[in-house]
Structure 1
């Protein structure tokens, strides 16, 4: 866990030469709101036979090793090479993992040499070895296919099957057939990779995501992400039995040497162990948040309840006590991987560059009222007084308005921005405006809502992302490229550092929009500044000291 100074002084530390501080020096006390986790969403699992579990961490761009007894987590491959959706071991002990966003299949030899053995396979997802050493991988989401890949990377991949129906976490059986779930068909199937013939083993699942054989190879254990069930299927008959009920969001599983079932949960960011003999469950690696990104807090909320876009869930967290009061989860609901969040009088607005969508929720009930597709790298999104949404498109460099009609009509407010990410509005000004951070140009830009006219407020920043307004009208920005929090005077552009050395700003991953997992910033009515940490999956606050 990152250990910052308990008190951070702003005493005229400047961003640009010749600039004065944006405000009188202020003392802030840095505190932890929610402690961190080793993962940013845990996915594929495999037992290494040496007392450890290998776990893949897609958004954290890492492959980890977990001690089966203690739950201690260490990093085997760090960012940016380790962006893994699934992981397995080869016959020679090499570790293989799939890069969902990069489209690359990676191999790390027992000697520690890492290389790309296949690329240009967007949506690369699951992988497994057949008994004879042949390696197979699937594409899912960004494509839908099964491939055979040379484990040493000397030959080009060969497509085995197109459009099987989103084949996810699979394993080969004693008959050399591939067994795995088809997400789109809600089935577990048996596939002959030589002939392409598919037989249904069991069906009637809600969202089966992975299977593994038991020690006798007579049963398959299946995890269902939508129901949270661990199901045992008798291969010969297809008979199903629920072994344990866990929280929704299950992603993968592995069988340990003690016949226990290790299950990953991408929503809760944890790994649990199920004893199939009695269905008992214990936690091996725990977490409270998954990938905290965008933050919002109502300006009139004395309790400073934070809305956290936690990528795999929308969570409400007590800004003062760190308690998680409410969770709306992906997979088991229509929520689509929230990365940014803002609050209106009656609505919560979410945006997701992950699956390219905007969502409007009823603030009182959490009901999803609208889902609007947008594949332009949507980042910050605000609801204006008339119900119109103002949206930053990081990939196109535009700010657009989305009206309330169905289907919605989109108009461009301004364009030519360099990776717009964070938005904060000042609608009480004589000329209502919005401030936007540009992660590529290092600017904070003011855009007039009436006509889209814009003016540079501050420049020379390095990868600014989250932005919020202080009670006195000043701006606070997460400058992730320098791992610090800065205050900017919106009139003069004068800037000062509030805190440095923060655990923010994971390396960018190839093929993702600018500011992909944004660092969120929010300010409560007390003047307390809240910041999300993508590196630690934690939340911090900076409390003004009188």
Structure 2
């Protein structure tokens, strides 16, 4: 055979067509080019703040499990405490210069001394949220959501916590006033209260807020600044009258604040993952730390969308992002809407399906109208639902990561549930295979390291691939291949569904935050989606970024 004929046959063989799902499709590409769709951030939703008096702002990062330091002049961010120890919902400085922070999911109160030693000083307080010191050095923390109590804690950790007040009504970000009374928002009542921690008495200082989440005194400690998360307002409350004045209008999703010695107010926003500086003298606002995404996790794209518009479950928001230009065109925010902290997203013909695996009151599956964004249905489920898919008849498939079940939810109200399969080990990702002769669904099992196919007619299972390390997000390629985020090995892989053959597409990826106590298997899932062009999209929870992998011809 001549060399030219051999080359011709080799090229013809490389371009030959494969059979997948009953369709004749082109051979998969051998290489991809990695590109940034949305650049990342240091935070995964920024929360509590504290000015250190040395030109820096301490900022807590609950889901990223870190405590950061922000330069007040430049906005430069550095890490003070990294994961997994730094799971902070709020942060404070003690009289001796130690840093204290609260672990909402872990129920632990942490301390880092000036010499860099970190340890737990209180345990078993789920929902541990806000904290503050009184002038005499007494130290108080509050439980919120997973509890409702105010505790006095020994800053040294030698004595057990003492219950100060039971069920104050969800007391959030607070501070002690010059009268040694505690001032803070009572979430359940939309009020700002004055609390005597010695007697337990609670008085109303101001009311009429939608969702007050934190307060701080001004530098002279005469007035209170309040952030109203649902309205996006920074409000000044004049004491002792309780008169209110809106100082600045901000985006909704505000979480906390800190006031500097110059009376500048630093405000965190967990939805936008940023920190803004407000000058109360004129109401001007500027960004200190800017981000575009908060905690990008689940990801979906319509296969017939030529623009490849991405639906991003950003934990604190549902966002629409241009797959080609990275432009964010639509955002539905938590707190100011009925949205429940979306961690996964999938698309049906007419609906968007969201799920959140938070173990608590916010655990649910939500169905939205794809055209209007209207919330049509909320289905509570506290079993750590990771992925959720809508079938053609409107029924839903849910991956319950904590029970190891794949369940079917019908369209009735209230919803009826049927167990399709059980014994799965940490099911996280789902990818439909409903066009096959025997319709099924592919499931990633983060604990067993498997990709499993479950037949929809009877729940029969077949192992497609094993030996993976923490597989999470999964999507079908247009040619029928499975694209999987193998988080434990920091790589993106392709799996042939009929043979289980694995090909590594990209490695060394910044994906896979460490799991947290009190959260389900998979924690913050890494999302994967594939557009009609064959471009693969991937979320990075570590970087709060969005990437694409473009086929190289």
**Partner Cα distance (1:152, 1:411) in 2:** 51
1:456 to 460, 463, 468: 463
**Partner Cα distance (1:235, 1:42) in 2:** 29
**Partner Cα distance (1:182, 1:90) in 2:** 24
Establish whether residue 37 from structure 1 lines up as the match of residue 49 from structure 2: no
**Partner Cα distance (1:513, 1:427) in 2:** 28
Aligned to 2:303: 299
**Partner Cα distance (1:347, 1:503) in 2:** 31
- What are the residue-to-residue correspondences of 1:94-133 with 2, within 5 Å? 94-133=98-137
Aligned to 1:424: 431
Describe the SS at the equivalent of 1:92: coil
Describe the SS at the equivalent of 2:488: helix
Deviation, structure 1 residue 218: 1.3
Aligned to 1:86: 90
Deviation, structure 1 residue 257: 2.5
Based on CA coordinates, which of the two structures has the bigger radius of gyration?
A: 2
**Partner Cα distance (1:183, 1:266) in 2:** 17
Aligned to 1:280: 284
2:70 to 57, 66, 70: 66
Aligned to 2:7: none
- What are the residue-to-residue correspondences of 1:239-258 with 2, within 5 Å? 239-258=243-262
2:513 to 500, 506, 531: 506
Deviation string for 1:493-526 (max 9, x for gaps)? 1111000000000111112100010000000000
Aligned to 1:408: 415
**Partner Cα distance (2:261, 2:352) in 1:** 46
Contact 2:109 2:121 survives alignment (8 Å): yes
Aligned to 1:494: 501
Contact 2:29 2:551 survives alignment (8 Å): no
1:348 to 348, 352, 365: 352
1:312 to 286, 310, 316: 316
Aligned to 2:372: 365
Deviation string for 1:252-310 (max 9, x for gaps)? 00011221000000000000000000000000000000000000000100000000000
- What are the residue-to-residue correspondences of 1:131-530 with 2, within 5 Å? 131-354=135-358, 355-530=362-537
**Partner Cα distance (2:332, 2:205) in 1:** 32
**Partner Cα distance (1:452, 1:327) in 2:** 37
**Partner Cα distance (1:481, 1:110) in 2:** 34
**Partner Cα distance (1:82, 1:497) in 2:** 32
Higher RCO, 1 vs 2 (CA within 8 Å, ≥6 residues apart):
1
Moved more, 299-308 or 213-222: 213-222
* Structure 1, unaligned runs of 5 or more: 1-22
Report the aligned-residue RMSD. Answer: 0.9
Deviant stretches of 4+, over 2 Å: none
Deviation, structure 1 residue 415: 0.2
TM-score by length of 1: 0.96
Deviation string for 1:370-396 (max 9, x for gaps)? 111000000000001111110000000
**Partner Cα distance (1:385, 1:516) in 2:** 29
Aligned to 1:12: none
Deviation string for 1:433-452 (max 9, x for gaps)? 00000000000000001110
Deviation string for 1:52-96 (max 9, x for gaps)? 000000000000000000000000000000000000000000000
**Partner Cα distance (1:352, 1:190) in 2:** 35
Contact 2:28 2:479 survives alignment (8 Å): no
Deviation, structure 1 residue 528: 0.2
**Partner Cα distance (1:161, 1:361) in 2:** 40
